[in-house]
Amino acid sequence: MTQGGFGGEDEDGFWMYPAEQELARYGEFRITVVESPFPAGADRALAPHDPERARELAEALGTVDGVLAEVDRIEAVERMPFGTRADLDLVGIGHWGDLIEINDPALAFIGGDFPLAKVAEELSRRHPRAAVIGSTTVHHHATHHTHVIHHPGGTRLFASGWAGESDWDLVGTPYDIAVTFGLGADELAERGVDLEAEPGDQAWEGLTRAALRSVGPLARAGRSLSVFRVRRDERTAGDLEETWID
């Protein structure tokens, strides 16, 4: 049997909703690892995508209980299917040597836990000389944001909350990130970043993109990544349904 947009082994696991259940929300969920020296790719070509290392990384993720199959190879500029419950079992990973990208809807959660931060910690331990930069957004009645930025020199930022609200979980400051990553006033302004803004009014996506651009290439055209169908454990399945369906 196949599920969603791509085939692969069918395992209902701990899901409460059927595979064809439509998602109620949409958003983004990506974390990137860039090995130093920075900027990666400036004086050396990125390696071709390595599907075996991508699978090894998928199997090691805390959001994944097991990898069932690589079900497709897509261009990095494409998006994985994201319309039904079955698509919550898809994880996309590009492994291009010094640059790794993970797309996983389980990185996002609106229920008070922070899987993006946990995965960022895992990746920082595995890649101590790398910058780890990730963002998730969930568009609901308002937009829920979670953002992490880890620099190998020790500077870190974590921010999570609802846009327009004042009650945010926040560690670190945009100012620290701007100084560490060498982000100038003009670039920050261009991306809507105000170092004095309240967390609920900050352009967090602009800040994370500026930090990422400073350490590695953003151009994704011409690169491929692997799409895996994975198995989720009970807690992750429940969190995914709460975030994207309930």
Q: Are 93 and 58 in contact (CB under 8 A)?
A: yes
Q: How far apart are CA 135 and CA 117, in angstroms?
A: 10
Please report, for residues 36, 38, 100, the alpha-carbon distance to residue 106 in angstroms, rounded to integers and kept in the order given: 27, 29, 17
Residue 46 pLDDT class (50, 70, 90 cuts): confident
Phi, psi for residue 188 in degrees, rounded to 5 = -65, -45
Q: Is the pLDDT of residue 11 over 60?
A: no
Give, as one character, the DSSP assignment of residue 160. E
Residue 3 pLDDT level (bands cut at 50, 70, 90): very low
Picking from 64, 47, 44, the residue whose alpha carbon sits closest to that of residue 106 is 64
Half-sphere exposure of residue 228: CA atoms within 13 angstroms, side-chain side: 28
pLDDT digits (tens, 9 = 90+) for 168-219: 999 999 999 999 999 999 999 999 999 999 999 999 999 999 999 999 877 7
Tokens 């963002």, located at residue: 135
Question: Measured between alpha carbons, how far is 99 from 40 in angstroms, rounded to an integer?
Answer: 8
Average pLDDT over every residue of 223-232: 97
